[in-house]
Amino acid sequence: MDFKLSPSEEAFRDEVRAFLDENLPEGTNKNDFSFLAEWNRKVRAKRWVGFSWPKEVGGGGGSIIEQVVLKEEMSKRHAPPLGTCFMGLAWVGPSIVQYGTDAQKQRFIPDILDGKYQWCTGYSEPGVGSDLAALQCKGVREGDVYVVNGQKIWTSIAMWSKWMILLVRTDFETASKHDGITCLLVEMATPGIEVRPITNMSGSAMFAEVFFNDVRVPVENRLGAEGQGWQVTVSALASERSSIAEVTAMFRKLEELRELAQRSRRNGVPASKDARVRRQLAVFEAKIEAMRLNGLRYLTRQLKGQPLSSETSVNKLHRAELEVEMGDFALELLGSASQYLRGADDAVDGGRWGTGALNWPEVVIGGGTPNIQKNIIAERILQLPKD
Amino acid sequence: MDFGFSEEQDLLRAEVRRLLDARCPLAQVRVLVESEAGYSAELWAELAELGWLGLTIPEQYGGAGLGWVDFVVLLEETGRSLFPSPLISTTLAAAAIQDAGSEEQKARWLPSLADGSRIGTLALLEASDVLTASGIALLGKPDGDAYVLSGAKSFVADAGAANLFVVAFRTGGGAEDLALAVVDGGAAGVSAKSFRTLDPTKRTGTLTLANTRVPKSALLHGADGDGATGRAWPAIARLLDRGAIATTGEIIGAAEAALALTVQYAKDRIQFGHPIGRYQGVKHPLAEMYVDIESTKSLLYYAAWALDESPGEVPRAASLAKAYASDAFARIGIDGVQLHGAVGYTAEYDIQLYLKRSKWARPTFGDSDFHYERVASLGGL
C-alpha cells in the first residue's frame, strides 16, 4: 500500500492548483456570464474538457490518476464544470469515440468538446424503467432511414437539447431482449418529435416526455451496428472509477451540515452538543470516507488492469443513502423553520434546505435505483440466482 | 498510488488459510473451546515457528519485522476461522513495549513474546469500563524504586493464559498522571483468571494485584511523550487504536465467513419452488452485508496503513473503522442467523458462532457510540 503520487502526477496537481489560483480566485462570481465564457475557453484550451479522451479526437489523453487529480482539485474549489455539454461529455461522446464512424466523430466530437449545444438521452420509457433492455420504442428500416415510433420519458433537458442519443428496438424476435436494440443519433428538430416537459416535486421542469411519430432518422446516424445498441451504450472507454468528484462534493455538504449544527439549537442548546446529532454527523463522515477509500481500492484495481465488475454499485448505494439522509438531517436540525420556503419570516438561508431535501431523486433514482444496485451486487458478485 | 495488497501479503494470506483449514477447521474450534485453556498450545507453538506471533516485532528482537497491514491480513484469516488463541493480546502487549519501551526493555521482553514462550496481554480497563484517562483509577503508591499496586483490572483479554501484563495505572490525581508498566505474571501478589464469554472462542477476565511491587525499570516511559514517568496517556491511547484496529481485522474475516455461509444457504435452500436466494427479501440484506464488508475493509486497511506510515491520521481512521465495523457486524450476525431460519438457531449450524463473535467484538476497544463521539470531537464538534 502506498498513497503517494509520482513526481509527474504531483507536478500535474501543482499545475491544476496554479490554474485555479489564477483563474478562480476567492470571491469569483461563478454565475457571471463573461466569467463562465472565459472559463470554458481556458479549460478547453488546456484540453481538460474530455480530459480522458484520446488526443486524436481532441481530448486530453489524461491518465487515470491525472483524471482523479483533476477532478479532486476542481471539486475542492467548487469550480464550474469542465465543459458544458453534460451528457455529451459523460456518455454520448465516449460512445461515439468508441463506436462511431469517422464522419460521425468529425461531425459531433468537436461540438461536444466546445459545448456548442446540448445532448439528451432517450433511454427510459413509460413501461420500462429499471428493466431498460425491455424497451419498446420501435425503429423500422425503410431504405436509407429508420422510421421511429414510440415514446420516451424522464428525458432530462430534452426541451433544450439539439440532439438525442436514442435506443430503439429494431428486432422484436431475438432470443435475448438485449440483442434487438439499436442506437440512433437523432436531431430534435426532426419532424414528428414532440417534447412535453414534466414538472417535478420541487417545482422545476428538468425532464420531459418525448413522443416519436413516424420520425425519419437517416441510417448514417446509426451508432454502431444494427442490434448492437446495448453494447454501444455501455461504453468501455477508460474513465476513472474512483467517485472522487462525488466524494469531494459530499464532504463539502457534510461541512455545511456541521456548520448548520453549530448555529442551530435543540432544546435550548447548540445542536452540535447533542449526542445524537454528533453521532449522526460522524456516521455520515464514516460513509463518505468509506466511499473515498472504496474508490481508491477500485482505482487501484483499474490501474493494475484487473477488471471491475459491479463493485462500483457499493458507492452508488452509499451515495443514494447519504443524499436522502443528509438532506433530511438538515431539516431535522432546523426544526419548525424547516417548513419555510424563501421569503418567510423565519426561513433559514432563504429556505434552501427545504428544496435541497427534495432533490435527491435525481441522483438516487436517476442512476439506477438502490434496489437495482442491490440486485446487481447479489446476482453479479454474490452469484445468487436471477429473479 | 496503490491501495491493494502486495504479492507477499497475498502469499501470507494463503499460507495462513492453508494452515487453519488443515489444522483448525470449525469442527476443531468447537473441540478446543471446550478445553481448559480454550486454545491449542500445539498450534500456538506452530504459529511461533511460522513467525506469526512476532509478525510485527522487529527482526533484531526475534520477530518478522512486518507492519500492521500484514498483521491485518493474518487477523482476517484468524477471524474467518474464529481461531481461538491469545494472538491479538500478545501482539498488543508487544506493541506497547515497542511503542514505549527502552532498548533494554525491548531486548528483555520482545524475544520471548515472539517465540511464544510468553503470552502477553493489555490490562487497561477497570470495572468502570471507561476507555479514557479518567477510567484508570488504580493508584500506584511510590515506594523507593518501585510503585506498589493493589486493585484489579477488568475486561483483560486472555487474562488466564497470559503471564505478561501491560498494566495502566495512576501516579497521581491529575487527569493524565498515568503510567504503563510491564507486570510479570509470576510476581508476588499477581493473580489472573479468565471467564468463558458470550463468544465461546474468546476468553476474558480479571487481573488482581495485591501489594504488587512494580520496579521503575518496568515502566514504559513512552516514546510519544517526553520520557517522564506518569505521562503515559499518548501511549495508552495508541494501544486503544491498535486494539480497535486488530479487533476490526478479525471482524472482517468473521463477517465475510458469515456472509459466505449465508449466501451458500440461500443458494441451497428451496422454498416455494426456488432457492430462497432468488427472492429480493433475501437478496437485498445479503447485498447490504457485502456493501458493509467492502466499506469496513477500506476503512480498516487505511487505518492499518496509517499506523505504520502516517501516525497523525490514526485516531480518526481507527475510530471510523471500528465504529462502522461494530454496527455492521452486529447487523450481519443477526441477519445471518435470521436468513438461515430455524436451523440458524441450532447449536449444530456454524452461523450462530459468528453472531456470538459480533456480540463479543462490539464493545471490545470501544463500541460505535464511543468511536463516533471521538470522530465528532476530533473533527472539532
Residue of B nearest to A278 (CA): B376
d(CA A77, CA B52): 46
Q: Which residues of B touch A371 (CB under 8 A)?
A: 280, 284
| Identity of the highest mean pLDDT range in A198-212, A332-346, B294-308 | B294-308
Residue A382 has its nearest CB partner, among B4, B275, B290, at B290
The residue extents of the domains of chain A are: 7-83, 117-233, 244-381
Judged by CB atoms closer than 8 Å, whether chains meet at A296 and B1 is answered as yes
Angle B311-B85-B354 from CA coordinates, rounded to 5°: 85
Phi, psi angle pair for A71, to nearest 5°: -65, -40
- Return the CATH superfamily for domain B235-378: Butyryl-CoA Dehydrogenase, subunit A, domain 3 (1.20.140.10)
Helix (H) / strand (E) element for A335: namely none
Chain B neighbors of A387, CB-CB under 8 A: 278-280, 283
Domain A244-381: which CATH class? mainly alpha
Which residue of B lies nearest to A304 if distances are taken between CA atoms? B2
Nearest CA distance, A322 vs chain B (angstrom): 14
* pLDDT at residue A238, rounded to an integer: 57
The distance of A288 to chain B (nearest Cα, Å) reads 10
Residue B163 scores a pLDDT above 50: yes
Task: Give residue B222's pLDDT band: very low, low, confident or very high (50, 70, 90).
Answer: low
Contact A282 B263 (CB under 8 A): no
Model confidence at B78, in pLDDT bands (50, 70, 90)?
very high
3-class secondary-structure state, position B270: strand
Closest-approach residue (CA) in chain B for A280 = B372
CATH superfamily entry for domain A7-83:
Acyl-CoA dehydrogenase/oxidase, N-terminal domain (1.10.540.10)
Residue range A117-233 forms a domain whose CATH class is mainly beta
Q: What is the ipTM of this complex?
A: 0.96
Q: For chains A and B, count residue pairs whose Cβ atoms are closer than 8 Å.
A: 149
Distance CA B88, CA A196 (A): 65
Q: Provide the percentage of residues in chain B whose pLDDT is more than 70.
A: 98
pTM score: 0.94
Cell of B56: 510485527
Cα separation, B127 vs B95, in Å, equals 24
**Phi and psi torsions of B213, nearest 5°:** -90, 120
Domain ranges in chain B?
7-114, 120-230, 235-378
**Region A299-324 average pLDDT:** 90
Asked if the domains B7-114 and B235-378 are classified in one and the same CATH topology, the answer is: no
Closest C-alpha to A347, from A359, A370, A331 = A331
Reduce the DSSP state of residue A119 to 3 states and report it: strand
Backbone angle region of B212, left / alpha / beta, with phi > 0 → left and psi within -120 to 50 → alpha: beta
Nearest CA in chain B to A2: B2
CA distance, residue A343 to nearest chain B CA (Å): 31
* Domain B7-114 homologous superfamily, CATH: Acyl-CoA dehydrogenase/oxidase, N-terminal domain (1.10.540.10)
Name the β-bridge partners of B204: B157, B195
The alpha carbon of residue B318 is apart from the nearest alpha carbon of chain A, in Å, by 11
Q: What are phi and psi of A72, to 5 degrees?
A: -65, -45
**A interface test, pick of B71, B270, B288, B294 with most A CB neighbours within 10 Å:** B294
Q: Are strands A265-266 and A181-187 parallel, antiparallel or unpaired?
A: unpaired
Written as one letter, the residue type at A13 is: R
Q: How near does any CA of chain A get to the CA of B358, in Å?
A: 19
**Complete DSSP assignment for B126-171:** -TT---SGGG--PBEEEETTEEEEEEEEEEEETTTT-SEEEEEEES
The reported pLDDT for the residue numbered A267 is: 86
Query: Using one digit for the tens of pLDDT, what is the confidence trace for B116-156?
Result: 999 999 999 999 999 999 999 999 999 999 999 999 999 99
Q: Evaluate whether A286 touches B375 at the Cβ level (below 8 Å).
A: yes
**Using the beta-carbon criterion (under 8 Å), do A311 and B294 form an inter-chain contact?**
yes
Instruction: Report H helices in A236-342.
Output: 244-263, 275-303, 312-334
CB contact under 8 A, B283 and A384: yes
Neighbours of A126 (CB within 10 A): 12
Residue B213 pairs in a beta bridge with B148
Q: Which residues of B touch A384 (CB under 8 A)?
A: 263, 266-267, 275, 277-278, 282-283, 286
Question: Which of B85, B148, B88, B145 lies closest to B122, judged by CA?
Answer: B88
pLDDT at A332 over 60: yes
Q: Please indicate whether, in this complex, the C-beta atoms of A272 and B263 are within 8 angstroms of each other.
A: no
Catalytic residues of A: 240
CB atoms within 10 A of CB A240: 24
User: Considering the domain B120-230 in this protein, what is its CATH number?
Assistant: 2.40.110.10
- For A48, the grid coordinates are 481538460
Helix axes A244-263, A275-303, angle to 10 degrees: 170
The answer to whether B213 and B169 have CB atoms below 8 angstroms apart is no
CA A56: distance to chain centroid? Answer: 25
Contact B320 A258 (CB under 8 A): no
